[in-house]
Structure 1
Amino acid sequence: MDTTSRSVYSPLTTRLSNGIPVIVDRVPSVDSCAVGIWVRAGTRDEPRSQAGVAHFVEHTSFRRTPGRTTQRIARDFENVGAYANAYTTKEETCYYVRTLREHLPAVFRTLADVVLNPVFDPKDVEKERTIITEEIRSYEDEAEEFIFDTGEGQMFGRHPLGVPIVGTVDSVANITADDVRNFHARHYHAGSLIVTVSGNVDPEDFIALAERTLTNVRPRGRALSRKAPPSLSTSSLTMERPVQQAHILWQVRVPGHRDSERFALMLLNTALGDGMSSRLNVRLRERKGLAYNVYSQLQLFVDCGIFAIYAGVEEQRRDRALAVIDEELALVAREGLRPAELRRAKEQMRAGKIMSLESLTARMTMLGKGMFEDGVPEDPYVTIDRINAVTIDDVNAAARRWCRPDRWSRCLILPSPSDD
């Protein structure tokens, strides 16, 4: 049992008359709140010929509604000091606002108007096409961003999870205003929405506000159906680009969020490459001086995931860095973690969860993602209990299963040869 009081986190979950879940997390010690409208639609739900359309919808929604221009939307948020933003992931889209508590009713009505009533005017779509194209090019200029996008394509092939969230320059060039409008119509309805709020808000007042604001939103169509990507063979990919370093990415497919092994994988990732005391950082950076930036990460979707290792190194040191990564994976697969490493990883994850409760945006995000992934808001204290329940045998079984170097696909970006 965690010693920190669980009373600081006790969200209320209800449903509006049209079935939209509303989760209210009251934090009486603050004067503000974070509110989000979540849509169960992301990159993996796009038609194959419209890569990037989910992100396109998110961008263009802020352009215009029947009663608000772009400037009016911005003023309605910023005249009361609110901060509005949105993001698209592979599996959902979130529109959110940070605001002072007294402005929540007006701000929530504006946010709902943006999410539910956008006018996808062809001129606005063309403006956003230019903006998104520049966003794509900026990511392509960042080798670390680019290698992860390339790596996802390597791991998932033609499945929508293998497509960059922003799409590609070619796919975005071919998305029409009708494509944007149709994706919104197909996915933005009562059966796909969740509303979450964290902050100094009265639950009854907010639920009444949400009911009044969203009462006309109805479910449409069949429940969202998703197919897991097929397993692909291990592969190696090497590219040359105008970069200063060699960029290394190793990846292996692992089970998804709903698999019971996920907590062992989270701890394994923390010990292997998340933090200053992680094995990869100690060996590659602190002892060998081979890399400034090296880490591992675990990306879990509902039905599958990727365990990845990234390092950026001087090109002449690439082979030494690759050898160290190979050695560390082989070592942890063969011998597992030491008990002290597991204890440290558990404490890191526990601290991260508890400290996240000090951020209203993080709390609001826990509510929404938990509803989509598990059907209930995440309780960070339950998560901590499940992390603490992982044994050394559990995590070492995961290491034996997933850390053999021969199971990992490799992607390399090397500096282009000099023209001189």
Structure 2
Amino acid sequence: MIHKIVLDNGLRIVFEQVDYVNSVTTGIWVGAGSINETDENNGISHLIEHMLFKGTKKRSAADIAEEMDSMGGQLNAFTTKECTCFYTKVTSYNFEASLDVLSDMIFNSVLDEEELEKEKKVVFEEILMYDDSPEDYVHELLTKISFKGNSIAYPILGDANTVGKIGVADIKKYMENNYTSDNIVISIVGNVTPEKVKALCSEYFGQFKKSEAETIKDSSYRYKNNIESVHKSIEQYHFCIGVEGYERNNKNYYASNILNNIIGGSMSSRLFQNIREKSGLVYTIYSFNSSYRSAGLFGIYSALKEESIDEVVSRVKIELDSLKKGNITKSEFERSKSQIQGNYILSLENTSNRMTVLGRRELFYNETINPEDIVDTIKNVEYNDIVEVSKELFGCDKYNIALTGNIEKNKDIIKRFDFS
């Protein structure tokens, strides 16, 4: 049974008691990601994620790590375009101790200027690492050109220029505006009682304050058509093509996930079988479905050598032309639907995944959902839904194209990636 608890300060807690495990997974979900940022502070959400591990008034960074290790537990965090999450997984008898660490990090972090400058260097290395990965880089480039002028185009890490200018005062102000009881959800799954959850969360997180700033409603992110190439001195060309997709709460969201599986989201998919397995033209090719609260992006990625470009582009176009017409077999549909359904059911055996479903849904939509209900939603997707979604997604005349590789060798090479 899923419980929702609202504390006196407005903080929402979603909780599922699971008696057959000996652990508890806790996530602190903050509605602050790169879409909340500006040209001046892009990367601040991610930088805060790093800084909260750097020590508190009573624990050093080493103390935090050693204390969690002594529990045999896990402590980590991640930042996305839409949120930041700090999470732990510990044995049930260490549940309170894990909350003590999490609350200490959030409320009592020292946020020292010297430590901030050190951590910026770490983030700079992380930015360089992603820049050195052409696959990651071209995905980010596709998002950037597809939502140019919208905050969803901002990279989660920011860049060296924006991150370098962020100071402690900026971090404190950003946290004051975003780390508020109305913008945070605590999601807990594991072997602990509702009474204990409410009592301990009240004790450790009751000091969250409501935001005094005016609530900003979701923006409408306008999709744009663009083509862009960026030179990198590498052997292969890495490309992404994209079309406008569906936001996460759209009625076509699950149909588009099943369609993604048919196109290139699995080893039995069209792109993988026809372009890699049967022809040996590439090592990697796949499709992806990126869905956000208020926008979506559906795309295809591959990496290839120059002499394979024309053949690969031709074969991808054949598949896209087929999809425009809704040419999908019922056997493809049934196989893909069954795979998506099975993968999701298996994922629910993990308390961390269940915690994520509960936390994300409550944070974004103020909706408490039983994870098993999503299985029924997938089951209810019908063949005609997939066909119509396929026609809608790929019926456009223009595709966004992001390309990286040795552009200086052939400045017109992007013209060979013509999917119009």
State TM-score, norm by structure 2: 0.93
Partner of 1:302: 293
Tell me whether 1:179 sits opposite 2:170 in the alignment: yes
Q: Please say if residues 56 and 104 of structure 2, whose CA atoms lie closer than 8 Å, have aligned partners that are also in contact.
A: yes
Partner of 1:48: 39
Pair 336,372 (structure 1): closer, same or farther in 2 beyond 3 Å: farther
Provide, for residues 337-372 of structure 1, a one-character-per-residue CA deviation record: whole Å limited to 9, x for no partner.
111111111111111111011112111111111112
Partner of 1:407: 398
Q: Post-superposition shift, 1:414?
A: 2.2
Partner of 2:414: none
- Distance in 1 of aligned mates of 2:14 and 2:218: 25
Partner of 2:256: 265
Q: Tell me the number of residue pairs that the alignment of Structure 1 and Structure 2 aligns.
A: 408
- Distance in 2 of aligned mates of 1:267 and 1:324: 21
Q: Post-superposition shift, 1:268?
A: 1.1
- Distance in 1 of aligned mates of 2:223 and 2:91: 47
- Distance in 2 of aligned mates of 1:151 and 1:115: 34
- Distance in 2 of aligned mates of 1:321 and 1:150: 21
- Distance in 1 of aligned mates of 2:23 and 2:373: 26
Any gaps of 5 or more consecutive residues in structure 1? 1-9
- Distance in 1 of aligned mates of 2:116 and 2:157: 15
Provide, for residues 182-214 of structure 1, a one-character-per-residue CA deviation record: whole Å limited to 9, x for no partner.
111110011111111112112211221101111
1:80-229 aligned at under 5 Å gives the runs 80-221=71-212, 222-229=214-221
Q: Post-superposition shift, 1:119?
A: 2.3
Partner of 1:380: 371
- Distance in 1 of aligned mates of 2:335 and 2:372: 18
Pair 355,299 (structure 1): closer, same or farther in 2 beyond 3 Å: same
Question: AA paired with 1:118?
Answer: S
Partner of 1:283: 274
- Distance in 2 of aligned mates of 1:381 and 1:346: 16
SS in structure 2 of the partner of residue 335 of structure 1: coil
SS in structure 1 of the partner of residue 242 of structure 2: strand
Q: Please say if residues 336 and 395 of structure 1, whose CA atoms lie closer than 8 Å, have aligned partners that are also in contact.
A: no
Partner of 1:331: 322
The range that moved more, 93-102 or 169-178, is 169-178
- Distance in 2 of aligned mates of 1:243 and 1:377: 47
Q: Post-superposition shift, 1:143?
A: 0.5
Partner of 2:15: 24
Q: Please say if residues 191 and 223 of structure 1, whose CA atoms lie closer than 8 Å, have aligned partners that are also in contact.
A: no
Question: AA paired with 1:198?
Answer: V
Tell me whether 1:350 sits opposite 2:363 in the alignment: no
The range that moved more, 122-131 or 407-416, is 407-416
1:370 to 361, 371, 374: 361
- Distance in 1 of aligned mates of 2:55 and 2:361: 30
Question: AA paired with 1:215?
Answer: G
- Distance in 2 of aligned mates of 1:75 and 1:367: 29
Q: Post-superposition shift, 1:315?
A: 2.3
Q: Post-superposition shift, 1:406?
A: 2.8
Partner of 1:68: 59
2:50 to 52, 55, 59: 59
Tell me whether 1:252 sits opposite 2:225 in the alignment: no
Question: AA paired with 1:219?
Answer: K
Q: Where does structure 1 differ by over 6 angstroms across 4 or more consecutive aligned residues?
A: none
Identity fraction in percent: 27
Provide, for residues 387-416 of structure 1, a one-character-per-residue CA deviation record: whole Å limited to 9, x for no partner.
222222221111111113633211111236
- Distance in 2 of aligned mates of 1:47 and 1:238: 24
SS in structure 1 of the partner of residue 75 of structure 2: strand
Q: Post-superposition shift, 1:242?
A: 1.8
1:383-398 aligned at under 5 Å gives the runs 383-398=374-389
The range that moved more, 221-230 or 34-43, is 221-230
Q: Post-superposition shift, 1:64?
A: 2.2
Q: Please say if residues 34 and 43 of structure 2, whose CA atoms lie closer than 8 Å, have aligned partners that are also in contact.
A: yes
- Distance in 1 of aligned mates of 2:14 and 2:91: 19
- Distance in 1 of aligned mates of 2:37 and 2:302: 31
- Distance in 2 of aligned mates of 1:323 and 1:378: 44
Partner of 1:13: 4
- Distance in 1 of aligned mates of 2:13 and 2:392: 40
Pair 58,403 (structure 1): closer, same or farther in 2 beyond 3 Å: same
Superposition CA RMSD, Å:
1.6
- Distance in 2 of aligned mates of 1:282 and 1:377: 39
Q: Post-superposition shift, 1:71?
A: 1.9
Partner of 1:5: none
- Distance in 2 of aligned mates of 1:261 and 1:103: 41
State TM-score, norm by structure 1: 0.93
Tell me whether 1:231 sits opposite 2:214 in the alignment: no
Q: Post-superposition shift, 1:382?
A: 2.0
Q: Post-superposition shift, 1:218?
A: 1.6
